[in-house]
Chain A
Amino acid sequence: MTLPPFALLRPTTLDDALRELSEDSVPYCGGTELLLAMRAGLHRPAALVDLKRIRELSGVRVEDGVLVIGATERHADLAAHPVVRERLPVFARMEKHIGNARVRTQGSIGGNLCFAEPKSDVATVLMALEASVTLAGPGGRRTVPVEEFVAGPYYAEKEPDELLVDVRVPLRDGLRGAYVKFQTMERPTVGVAVLADDAAGWYRLGVGAVGEVPLAWSFGSLGEIDADEVAGWVDPTPDLSGSEEYKRHVTAVYVRRALARLEQVSA
Chain B
Amino acid sequence: MGENVVGRSVRRPDLVEKVTGAAQYCVDVTMPGMAHAKVVRSDRAHARITGIDVAEALAGPGVVAVVTADDIASLHARFGHIIADHWILATGKVRYYGEPVAVVVAETVAAAADAVELVRVSYEDLPAVMDVDAALADGAPLVHEQSYEATGDESFKNLSHVDEETAEPALTNLAHEVTLGWGDVDAAFAESAAVVENTVHFPMLYAYAMEPYNAVASYHEGALSVVSTAQHPYMVRDDLARVFGLPLARVRVTSPYLGGGYGSKSYTKVEPLASVASWVTGRPVKLTLSVEEAIYTTRVDSARIHVKSGFAADGTILARDFDIVMDSGAYADNSPLVMAKAVNRCFGPYRVPNLRVRGRSVYTNTAPASSYRGFGAPQGNLAGETNLDRAAERLGISGADIRRRNLVRKGEEILPGKRGIDADIPADLEMVVESLERDRKDVPYYGIGFGCSASDAGAYPISTAQVRIQIDGSVLVLSGSTEMGQGSRSLLAQVAAEELGVDLSVVTVVQSDTSVTPYERTTGASRTTTLVGLALQRACADARARLRDMAAELFECAPGEVRDLPGAVAGPDGRELSFGAVVRQWFGGSAGEVTGVGLLRRDGATQKMPPFWEVGMVGVAVEIDPETGVVAVDQLVTVADVGFAINPRAVEGQDLGAATQGLGGALYEELVYDGAQLANANVVDYRVPRMKDLPRKIDLMIAERRDGVGPYGAKGAGEGTLNPIGGAVAAAVARAVGRWPDRLPLTPERVWRLMSSD
Query: Which A positions have Cβ atoms within 8 angstroms of B?
Result: 1-2, 4-5, 182, 184-186, 240, 242-243, 246, 249-250, 253
A122 to chain B, nearest CB (A): 18
Take A184-B748, A242-B748 as given contacts and tell me if A2 and B110 are in contact as well, using a CB distance cutoff of 8 Å: yes
The reply on B122 being an interface residue by CB < 8 A is: no
Complex formed: what's the CA distance from A1 to B41 in Å? 14
Complex formed: what's the CA distance from A182 to B630 in Å? 10
* Residue with the highest number of chain A CB atoms closer than 10 Å, among B114, B680, B748, B753: B748
Interface size on B, residues (CB 8 A): 20
The reply on B439 being an interface residue by CB < 8 A is: no
Identify the closest chain B residue to A186 (Cβ): B684
CB contact list, B701-758 vs A, under 8 A: 747-749, 752-753
Contact in complex: A185, B113 (CB < 8 Å) = no
Identify the closest chain A residue to B672 (Cβ): A240
Contact in complex: A4, B752 (CB < 8 Å) = no
Partner of A5, one of B110, B687, B748, B753: B110
Contact in complex: A246, B685 (CB < 8 Å) = no
The reply on B290 being an interface residue by CB < 8 A is: yes
Contact in complex: A240, B628 (CB < 8 Å) = no
Q: List 11 A-B contacts (CB under 8 A).
A: A1-B113, A2-B110, A5-B110, A184-B668, A186-B685, A242-B748, A242-B749, A243-B749, A246-B748, A246-B749, A253-B627
Interface flags for B106-150 (1: CB within 8 Å of A; 0: not) read 000110011000000000000000000000000000000000000
The reply on B516 being an interface residue by CB < 8 A is: no
Complex formed: what's the CA distance from A185 to B753 in Å? 19
The reply on B679 being an interface residue by CB < 8 A is: yes
Contact in complex: A184, B687 (CB < 8 Å) = yes
Query: Which B positions have Cβ atoms within 8 angstroms of A?
Result: 109-110, 113-114, 290, 627-628, 630, 668, 672, 679-680, 684-685, 687, 747-749, 752-753
- 10 closest Cβ pairs, A-B complex: A246-B749, A253-B627, A186-B684, A242-B749, A185-B687, A2-B109, A184-B748, A250-B628, A2-B110, A240-B680
Name the A residues within 8 Å of B290 (CB-CB): 1
Contact in complex: B752, A246 (CB < 8 Å) = yes
Take A1-B290, A182-B628 as given contacts and tell me if A240 and B748 are in contact as well, using a CB distance cutoff of 8 Å: no
Identify the closest chain A residue to B680 (Cβ): A240
Identify the closest chain B residue to A41 (Cβ): B117
Take A2-B110, A240-B672, A242-B748 as given contacts and tell me if A185 and B685 are in contact as well, using a CB distance cutoff of 8 Å: yes
Contact in complex: A253, B685 (CB < 8 Å) = no
Identify the closest chain A residue to B667 (Cβ): A184
Identify the closest chain B residue to A100 (Cβ): B690
Identify the closest chain B residue to A246 (Cβ): B749
B407 to chain A, nearest CB (A): 36
Name the A residues within 8 Å of B748 (CB-CB): 184, 242, 246, 250
Name the B residues within 8 Å of A184 (CB-CB): 630, 668, 687, 747-748
Identify the closest chain B residue to A257 (Cβ): B627
Contact in complex: A240, B752 (CB < 8 Å) = no
B399 to chain A, nearest CB (A): 28
A60 to chain B, nearest CB (A): 29
Known: A2-B113, A242-B749, A253-B628. 13 other contacts (CB 8 A): A5-B110, A182-B628, A184-B630, A184-B747, A186-B684, A186-B687, A240-B679, A243-B749, A246-B749, A246-B752, A250-B627, A250-B748, A253-B627
Complex formed: what's the CA distance from A62 to B747 in Å? 44
* Residue with the highest number of chain A CB atoms closer than 10 Å, among B672, B747, B749, B752: B749
* Residue with the highest number of chain A CB atoms closer than 10 Å, among B109, B628, B630, B685: B628
Complex formed: what's the CA distance from A185 to B748 in Å? 11
A92 to chain B, nearest CB (A): 21
Complex formed: what's the CA distance from A249 to B755 in Å? 13
Name the B residues within 8 Å of A249 (CB-CB): 752
Complex formed: what's the CA distance from A184 to B684 in Å? 12
Complex formed: what's the CA distance from A253 to B756 in Å? 15
Identify the closest chain B residue to A4 (Cβ): B110
Complex formed: what's the CA distance from A180 to B558 in Å? 82
* Residue with the highest number of chain B CB atoms closer than 10 Å, among A185, A240, A242, A243: A240
Take A2-B109, A5-B110, A246-B752 as given contacts and tell me if A240 and B630 are in contact as well, using a CB distance cutoff of 8 Å: no
Complex formed: what's the CA distance from A246 to B113 in Å? 41
B692 to chain A, nearest CB (A): 10
Name the A residues within 8 Å of B627 (CB-CB): 250, 253
Complex formed: what's the CA distance from A265 to B752 in Å? 30
Name the B residues within 8 Å of A243 (CB-CB): 749
B748 to chain A, nearest CB (A): 6
Complex formed: what's the CA distance from A186 to B685 in Å? 7
Name the B residues within 8 Å of A2 (CB-CB): 109-110, 113
Name the B residues within 8 Å of A185 (CB-CB): 684-685, 687
Name the B residues within 8 Å of A4 (CB-CB): 110, 114
